[in-house]
Structure 1
Amino acid sequence: MNYSEDTKKRLRRIEGQVRGVLRMMEEEKNCKDVVSQLSAVRNAADKAIAFIVATNLEQCILEEQEAGRDSSKLVREAVELLIKSR
């Protein structure tokens, strides 16, 4: 799969958030603030996963339709991936 620059940008943003959390820990910031930022990292990662699965699913469905094949299996696999990621 070819990953778009938007996808890579999302992950770089998450990388920056993680660095920020580490910095907060080194500065001995309040636990509540650290956990809040970690929650934001988790939410961003969840959104990145959903974006990657949706983009891939769209590509695969188009390919299956062009080949005249049923794409229902692909949809089930995508849903399973999303469930597994949680």
Structure 2
Amino acid sequence: MKSPEDHRPTTPSYRAEHQRDVVNRLKRIEGQVRGLIDMVESGRSCEDVAQQMAAARKAMDKAFYRMMACSVMEAVTESASEDDALREVERSTRILEKYA
């Protein structure tokens, strides 16, 4: 019979998948920021620019939360004991409280 650990995602591939996701999100945000620069330089309305800035900010927040989800998953899957897992989840919670 398989233990519960056998059903956990393997950390290297799980981490690599999350890293790719976060990098792709950041590249899209980079494109949004370049578009914002073009909008400002071409004299687009403040409301148009503000709308796109809000979209870029929201995209950055989503990338941040996706990265933090990976941190929590690693804490749970890599910890040697339940106490270690709880400590790592608490550490991730403090990061969220500080930067979110």
TM-score norm. by structure 2 comes to 0.75
* RMSD over equivalenced CA pairs, Å: 1.6
Picking from 38, 45, 57, the partner of 1:42 is 57
Q: Does residue 4 of structure 1 match 2:45?
A: no
Question: Which protein shows a greater Rg?
Answer: 2
* Structure 1 unmatched runs, 5+: none
Partner residue of 2:72? Answer: 57
Q: Does residue 30 of structure 1 match 2:68?
A: no
Picking from 81, 87, 90, the partner of 1:68 is 81
* Structure 2 unmatched runs, 5+: 1-14
CA distance in 2, matches of 1:7, 1:48: 6
Q: Does residue 17 of structure 1 match 2:32?
A: yes
DSSP 3-state at the match of 1:4: helix
Tell me how far 1:17 sits from its aligned partner: 0.4
Instruction: Give the conservation status (yes or no) of the 8 Å contact 2:75–2:89.
Output: no
The 4+ residue runs of structure 1 with deviation greater than 6 A are: none
Tell me how far 1:16 sits from its aligned partner: 0.4
% of aligned pairs identical? 36
TM-score norm. by structure 1 comes to 0.85
CA distance in 2, matches of 1:61, 1:31: 45
CA distance in 1, matches of 2:66, 2:49: 26
